[in-house]
Amino acid sequence: MLDTMQEHPSQAQASRLAELWHRLSAQHIALGCSCTMSGISVTLEDFERDIADYLWAESERLGQTDVVRFLLEPGPIAQQDQAIRKLLQRLQEGLAEEAVATWLLTRMTQTIESYAKLHGPSVDAPLLGGAKAWRTGYRE
């Protein structure tokens, strides 16, 4: 286990992704924003289990048994509430072996940053500040 004063790069990346995920979730909740398809409203939380399920399926398909074991440690994916938040928290705490953390963070970075690019403001946009702050903070 690493000293609390020294954060490993994978823990720092997990912290950055957790902050981005939290920020996206808070913005969706605070602004009542949702993505709609045929009258169905979904929020960021609706994607957590889907993303965790993708990570699990991909790790099984590629024979990443240590990753599978780490993902299923809290129980079956279908029963994990806030699967991504809790996965990122475990990675922040340094509970994964380095190879497992690297494998997961590579895919999670692509997924979460892609979601942010498509559905959220730029990373430096203010969380609060009114419509003008949001308009100037959205990605193009």
Kindly report, residue by residue over 118-134, the tens digit of the pLDDT.
766 555 555 544 445 54
CA atoms within 13 A on the CB side of 131: 0
Q: In this structure, which amino acid lies at residue 77?
A: I
Question: Per residue in 40-75, pLDDT tens?
Answer: 555 667 788 899 999 999 999 999 999 999 999 999
Does position 32 have pLDDT exceeding 50, yes or no?
A: no
Helices within the chain (DSSP H only):
9-31, 45-61, 65-72, 83-92, 98-119, 130-137
Q: Which helix (H) or strand (E) holds 41?
A: strand 40-42
**pTM score, two decimals?**
0.73
